[in-house]
Structure 1
Amino acid sequence: MNNNNGGQQGAAPTGAIARFLNTIEHVGNKLPDPAMIFLFSMLLIWVLSWVFSGVTFDVIDPRTNAPIVVNNLLTGDALAGFLASMVKTFTGFAPLGVVLVAMLGVGVAEHSGYINTGIKLMLKRTPQALLTPMIILVGIVSHTATDAGYVLVIPLAGVIFYAMGRHPLAGIAAAFAGVSGGFSANFIPSGIDPLLQSFTQSAAQIINPTMEINPLNNYYFTSMSSIFIVLVGWYITDKIIEPRLKNSPVDGNTDELPAFETATSKEKKAFFIATAVMLAGLALLAYVASLGDSPLRAENGKLADFSAPIMQSIVPLIFLLFWIPGAVYGFVAGTFQSSKDMVMAMTKAMEGMAYYVVMAFFCALFIAAFAQSNLGALLAIEGAAVLKALSLPSGVTIVGIIFLTGFVNLFVGSSSAKWALLGPIFVPMLMQLNISPDLTQAAYRVGDSSSNIITPLMPYFPLVVVYCQKYVKNTGIGTLIAMMLPYSIAFLIGWSIFLLAYWGLDIPLGIQSSYTYG
């Protein structure tokens, strides 16, 4: 490795900024676990349903065209029904099956080594002039493998930058910006798409019980956002972050730093064979879908209709997209010796989802209570009435949703947890203003991603600090926040403008999506 003495990380934030960040961290550490937030929220819904059940409202419920009535969830019958339906409420929770099925396939691709080898090949073959944008792009693509970006791309980026004579912290910052700051930007469908869609659909059904949302309703927007994140992250890394790091010596024990390991010939062979099999499968799928009498089409002959089997099969297709090449790679590379190894890879993936299953249990109960009480519909209709009275432009409302989400993200790190809490409020409320659930979800995704990289409450934030300390010993949480703050501000403001421009040009957000409701 080259001995790099260049690069200085700027000092940690001082003054008002430091006090603000310290307050955020202090308050955030006082919050209970997201699972408990859902439990406490459900109990609060019960109490509020009892309080408001005796109040007569003049608000008309659009679902019944009658005055809305808040249902008391603390009656004997309601509590008995809650207990009787608890298991069904949990097992019928749409996001649960969506996430678990997708992760079974991703687990095979990840634990076989297929994803890791693909990332190594992409990074190794990149010219130095394009190193920064490629690292950011790989970080974005790594979302398809959930946590792979945090445990592989970010530390590898530091190793590669250091090996090429550049400051390693700049590489870590660029990768962190792509993996976490650009979390909602990706041109490859992943488990996060159907996960958020399922919450959005549940929230929209508070107003319209028959409404269905396509899992890829934001696909075109997130694909184009990948370009935006790469370009903005590239500029900030090379023009702002790395120049600020030029006076900071790399004082870590570089002898103990991992060398950049290239893929072996066996890994390369396995990767290309597995990818060829995957592409052949996609080609076969495209051919079958193109047939006029294809069983993948809806009864009206269209592929893009929500009722089309191919649209109903997005999650199983994501499963197969990772499971097939992962299995092929595993057996060719030798990481899988038998079918038992493949099953163990899927088991490990499920072990990593244990916390999500617990959270989903309490989340399902909260969402059910929120819908049954009618408080969600009441809040949405009344909130829409207030917004209508303010006569704010729709664009201002959307930007408000983005910035509010970014602020909440500082305290609640889980994307699904936040949307499960905010979706039942935002989606129905904006539907009353004729703003579609698709656009509301897109706004949420922008806000959710932009502040990921500056919140110490994000589970992998301390891990990134450790990566930095391998190169610069005195790196702390505050210094990492200071390093990532330019990315966060640029993403939050720039991405908001990008969404408004995208909307203004009336470019489709995704498949079967719209900008307006009603």
Structure 2
Amino acid sequence: MSEENQNQPAKKPEAEGRGTLFDKFLNGIESLGNKLPDPAMLFFILMVIVWVFSAILSPIDFGEVHPRTGEELSVQNMLTGDNLAAFLANMVQTFVLFAPLGIVLVAMLGVGVAEHSGWIDAGLKKLLNFTPASFLTPMLILIAIVSHTAADAGYVLVIPLGGVIFYAAGRHPLAGIAAAFAGVSGGFSANFIPSAIDPLIMSFTLEAARILDPDIMLNPINNWYFTSASSILIVTVGWYITDKIVEPRLSGIEIDGDEDEMPQMEDVTDKESRAFWYGFLAMVLGIVGLFVWAWPEGSALRDPNWDNPDVSSLLSFSAPLMQSIVPLIFVLLLIPGVVYGYASGKYSSSKDMINNMTKAMESMGYYIVMAFFCALFIDAFGKSNIGLLIALKGANFLQALALPGQVTIVGIVILSAFVNLLVGSASAKWALIAPIFVPMLMQLGISPDLTQAAYRVGDSVSNIITPLLPYFPLVVVFCQRYVKNTGIGTLISMMLPYSIIFLVTWTIFLLVYWAIGIPLSFEAPYVYPAP
């Protein structure tokens, strides 16, 4: 890379590129959002609001039926004596079982060793040495997309590395975090490598399709070709947004984080270089060992209930391999970190490794506080049925319009993006609304595979602008490492260009992809019944 790109960002650069109408809009969003309370307190306030509205709406008959149980759907009053008692009795369990909490903390233990031992630092220096400055953004977004294969690991691994890489390259670290966040979460359904989420989403599509056709069968990776092609789109569009819209706007934001918390990229010594390759070789051997263990037909890492002993039995959501992704990340980062530590002379005893883990956990204190209130809010929001009611009302409205196929597909993308602002989990959300969308479009001659593709586009693009995303507070914490006063408004305004442009371009891409007739995947037609 050039000498200019190796320099660290200036502390107080002049604000540039903030005078356009769109910039003023984003500045307004940032200003408004940052006037909100601290994220932890905001989740508490939202929980109280849900409680109040649940009491107000609970007596009303909305005339909706739960699509999975067939029972009448009503808002549950969270302020009854029984529900308040249950809230107190289950508070600890609600927090402890908050899915992102365990994922983040376990993964960060491995990340902490790999980072604080110096192995990641050495690897980033080598990456910067051979990556042209102009291709740093697309490479980061591509890595973020590939991280989907490892479930939610991208949130705790790739996003903070985005800030590290950009800061080391002399660019604004928040731009790196934004690009990585866009790839990990905004492009969640774009990936050329199948992952556990593919057969999981398909299983709900299949169940919904069998409401109308009990004998229908679907391919477990029925959107694979489309999601692979979408990877190219997300990398290209995300590259443009980062370099031309987001980073110029960030030029006026001062980097005021603690120097001790930010990476200091110095030259790699010969000893460190050898230690890095020793650590890298150890990780590769670990991956090879995992492959040898997983590949045989009778492997304990395969889904024992899967009919065929092919690769899909490893990618099943119930497969032990997929359930072990986070522990595997912990191990596969711990091993090279430890090897590097001893080979480079950074470690003299096991206590050094434990100290690295402790240091990693110290930086997660604020996230744990936010996760506590976030878990309580999401639990109350789900149990009240308010989010589900909004989703069903929107789906029924779309069905009543009886629009042409292409317009309906666009409507599903937009509705899915809106519902995603209210209900976080991709699989849980699809489990609830697929019984409405899938049979509805089958009656219009649209296949379940195409309906699922439209849902996955909408489900991805709004992830990055909703504080209801369980990992949203974590990304705020990553940003605060470099800019102390980063708030929800800062992050939303930073990610809004990605969300809007991804929504428009990805929807058009789906329509053009459909019009050309490129297969969604093998054995995945566009029409129902299949020709």
SS at the partner of 1:294? coil
Q: How far apart in 1 are the matches of 2:80 and 2:334?
A: 48
Offset at 1:463? 7.9
Offset at 1:491? 5.0
Q: How far apart in 2 are the matches of 1:56 and 1:450?
A: 32
- TM, length-normalised to structure 1: 0.68
Offset at 1:141? 3.5
Moved more, 18-27 or 44-53: 18-27
Moved more, 133-142 or 113-122: 133-142
| 5+ residue gaps, structure 2 | 6-12, 145-153, 209-220, 252-262, 439-447, 468-474
Cα deviations across residues 265-307 of structure 1 (Å, max 9, x unaligned)?
A: 1121111111111111111111121112211122244323332
Q: Counterpart of 2:436?
A: 432
Aligned: 1:333 with 2:344: yes
Offset at 1:377? 3.0
Q: Counterpart of 2:218?
A: none
RMSD: 5.0
Indicate which of 85, 100, 106 corresponds to 2:105: 100
Q: Is the CA contact (8 Å cut-off) linking 2:303 and 2:314 kept in structure 1?
A: yes
Q: Counterpart of 2:127?
A: 122
Q: Counterpart of 1:443?
A: 458
Q: Is the CA contact (8 Å cut-off) linking 2:222 and 2:520 kept in structure 1?
A: no
Aligned: 1:400 with 2:414: yes
Q: How far apart in 1 are the matches of 2:511 and 2:364?
A: 35
Q: How far apart in 2 are the matches of 1:283 and 1:335?
A: 27
Offset at 1:78? 1.8
Q: For residue 132 of structure 1, what is the amino acid of its counterpart? A: S
Q: For residue 400 of structure 1, what is the amino acid of its counterpart? A: I
Q: How far apart in 2 are the matches of 1:515 and 1:270?
A: 55
| 5+ residue gaps, structure 1 | 159-167, 208-215, 249-257, 409-417, 467-476
Q: Does the C-alpha gap of structure 1 residues 97 and 260 become closer, same or farther in structure 2, counting only changes over 3 Å?
A: closer
Q: Counterpart of 2:364?
A: 353
Q: How far apart in 2 are the matches of 1:431 and 1:234?
A: 36
Q: Does the C-alpha gap of structure 1 residues 421 and 305 become closer, same or farther in structure 2, counting only changes over 3 Å?
A: closer
Aligned: 1:25 with 2:30: yes
Q: Is the CA contact (8 Å cut-off) linking 2:110 and 2:331 kept in structure 1?
A: yes
Q: How far apart in 2 are the matches of 1:259 and 1:64?
A: 56
Indicate which of 389, 393, 396 corresponds to 1:378: 389
SS at the partner of 2:169? helix
Aligned: 1:182 with 2:183: yes
Q: How far apart in 2 are the matches of 1:180 and 1:133?
A: 17
Q: Please show how residues 50-449 of structure 1 align to structure 2 within 5 Å.
A: 50-126=55-131, 130-138=132-140, 141=143, 145-146=157-158, 148-158=160-170, 175=176, 178-184=179-185, 227-232=232-237, 261-299=266-304, 300=306, 301=309, 302-391=313-402, 393-400=407-414, 420=424, 428-429=432-433, 432-434=436-438, 440=455, 443-449=458-464
SS at the partner of 1:25? helix
Q: For residue 397 of structure 1, what is the amino acid of its counterpart? A: G
Q: Does the C-alpha gap of structure 1 residues 332 and 235 become closer, same or farther in structure 2, counting only changes over 3 Å?
A: same
Offset at 1:501? 5.9
Q: How far apart in 2 are the matches of 1:422 and 1:308?
A: 19
Q: For residue 278 of structure 2, what is the amino acid of its counterpart? A: I
Q: For residue 12 of structure 1, what is the amino acid of its counterpart? A: G
Offset at 1:462? 8.4
Q: Counterpart of 1:210?
A: none
Offset at 1:56? 3.0
Q: How far apart in 1 are the matches of 2:76 and 2:236?
A: 51
Q: Is the CA contact (8 Å cut-off) linking 1:137 and 1:226 kept in structure 2?
A: no
Q: How far apart in 1 are the matches of 2:55 and 2:279?
A: 58
Q: How far apart in 2 are the matches of 1:292 and 1:27?
A: 56
Offset at 1:488? 7.8
Q: For residue 91 of structure 2, what is the amino acid of its counterpart? A: M
Q: How far apart in 1 are the matches of 2:122 and 2:518?
A: 39
Q: Is the CA contact (8 Å cut-off) linking 1:136 and 1:174 kept in structure 2?
A: no
SS at the partner of 1:362? helix
Q: How far apart in 2 are the matches of 1:296 and 1:271?
A: 30
SS at the partner of 1:62? coil
Indicate which of 38, 43, 47 corresponds to 1:38: 43
SS at the partner of 2:298? coil
Q: How far apart in 2 are the matches of 1:450 and 1:221?
A: 24
Q: How far apart in 2 are the matches of 1:450 and 1:40?
A: 19
Q: Does the C-alpha gap of structure 1 residues 281 and 405 become closer, same or farther in structure 2, counting only changes over 3 Å?
A: same
SS at the partner of 2:400? helix
Q: Does the C-alpha gap of structure 1 residues 173 and 461 become closer, same or farther in structure 2, counting only changes over 3 Å?
A: closer
SS at the partner of 1:41? helix
Moved more, 361-370 or 419-428: 419-428
Q: How far apart in 1 are the matches of 2:45 and 2:117?
A: 40
Q: Is the CA contact (8 Å cut-off) linking 2:275 and 2:344 kept in structure 1?
A: yes
Aligned-pair identity in percent equals 42
Q: Does the C-alpha gap of structure 1 residues 123 and 508 become closer, same or farther in structure 2, counting only changes over 3 Å?
A: farther
Q: How far apart in 2 are the matches of 1:267 and 1:235?
A: 35
Q: Is the CA contact (8 Å cut-off) linking 1:186 and 1:223 kept in structure 2?
A: no
SS at the partner of 2:68? coil
Q: How far apart in 1 are the matches of 2:364 and 2:224?
A: 24
Q: Does the C-alpha gap of structure 1 residues 493 and 502 become closer, same or farther in structure 2, counting only changes over 3 Å?
A: same
Q: Does the C-alpha gap of structure 1 residues 338 and 441 become closer, same or farther in structure 2, counting only changes over 3 Å?
A: farther
Offset at 1:440? 4.4
Q: How far apart in 1 are the matches of 2:168 and 2:119?
A: 16
Q: For residue 296 of structure 1, what is the amino acid of its counterpart? A: L
Q: How far apart in 1 are the matches of 2:368 and 2:432?
A: 26
SS at the partner of 2:348? coil
Moved more, 301-310 or 484-493: 484-493
Q: Is the CA contact (8 Å cut-off) linking 1:304 and 1:311 kept in structure 2?
A: yes
Q: How far apart in 1 are the matches of 2:32 and 2:425?
A: 19
Cα deviations across residues 303-332 of structure 1 (Å, max 9, x unaligned)?
A: 233322112212212222222222222221
SS at the partner of 2:505? helix
Q: Is the CA contact (8 Å cut-off) linking 1:102 and 1:315 kept in structure 2?
A: yes
Q: Does the C-alpha gap of structure 1 residues 188 and 338 become closer, same or farther in structure 2, counting only changes over 3 Å?
A: farther
Q: Does the C-alpha gap of structure 1 residues 342 and 77 become closer, same or farther in structure 2, counting only changes over 3 Å?
A: same
Q: For residue 164 of structure 2, what is the amino acid of its counterpart? A: L
Q: For residue 182 of structure 1, what is the amino acid of its counterpart? A: G
Q: Does the C-alpha gap of structure 1 residues 365 and 153 become closer, same or farther in structure 2, counting only changes over 3 Å?
A: same
